[in-house]
Amino acid sequence: MRPTNYFLLIISILILSCEAPKPEAEQSTKPASGKEFYEMKVYTFANDDQVAVTDAFLGNAFIPAMKRQGVSPIGVFKNRINEEDTIQKIYVLIPFKSMDQFLSYEDKLIADETFLDAGKTYIDAPHDNPPYARIASSLVEAFDEMPKMATPNLEGPRADRVYEFRSYLGPTEKLHLNKVDMFNAGGEVEIFDRLGFNAVFYGRVIVGDEMPNLVYMTTFSDMKSRDEHWDAFRTDPQWLELKAVDKYQNNMLKSKVYLLYPTDYSDY
């Protein structure tokens, strides 16, 4: 081998060694930014007995078990029945520090004897008397502008509180990401914060049944406060300027609004 080729070989080996992948122990699915992930589970029910069994399971078995895993705070909400939303539902909002934590939590529940005992009625329900009709679940990645969930600062009776869960459906994947950018770089999150919307989280749905879409939750002490806040938002100069920006046009197909209230055992 000629000397020139020998030195080239040595240099190539050094470069490859510097670019070698990290050991498995150093690899992680957690984003470098530390953004959280959220699972939103929505139970639907056929009757009041199902609601009662699931309420007891969530409050006495599921939430305590998740807290033993270090997963908290967990929000549990019910829908306000109206002409458009007549089916009883329970919404469960679960925060995870990483995808690893999300992927492992169910295996840990199965191995938790205290959980299995406390949730026996729900877990061992017979096929002809299930504790719910169906469960829908979506996985959400937190926005850059709000990487971690927040506990809202609300006053007044819990029964009067309004937790507004919104889903914005994008016409296409590209336009959906444009709406996400509008919240982050565009300043829509900043506007909500300035106007006191008491957000719990904002996030992009990465697994769900109505993709592409983003979801978020804002909170109010009562319905009157909620209406006043939205009136202020609609006429806010910064919002009027933002929604007129050319690059943010036509980035939302439709919005879905769900008005919820917290259960007695909810952390929110």
Q: What does the pLDDT look like over 66-95, one tens digit per residue?
A: 999 999 999 999 998 777 778 999 999 999
- H or E element that contains 111: none
Q: What are phi and psi of 19, to 5 degrees?
A: -95, 10
- Closest C-alpha among 208, 76, 79, 88 to residue 136: 208
Least confident segment among 3-17, 96-110, 203-217: 3-17
Q: What is the mean pLDDT of residues 89-103?
A: 97
* Domain 30-142 and domain 143-263 have a common topology: yes
Q: What is the mean pLDDT of residues 185-214?
A: 97
Query: What's the token pair of residue 71?
Result: 């997963």
Instruction: Please report, for the chain, the start and end positions of each structural domain, with discontinuous segments joined by +.
Output: 30-142, 143-263
Cα separation, 6 vs 155, in Å, equals: 75
* Residue type (1 letter), 5: N
End-to-end CA distance of the chain: 72
- Closest C-alpha among 223, 216, 183 to residue 201: 216
- Closest C-alpha among 93, 194, 100 to residue 151: 93
Per-residue confidence at 216, pLDDT binned at 50, 70, 90? very high
Topology, domain 143-263: Alpha-Beta Plaits (3.30.70)
**pLDDT value of residue 159:** 87
CATH number of the 30-142 domain: 3.30.70.100
- Name 234's Cβ contacts closer than 8 Å, sequence gap at least 6: none
pTM: 0.86
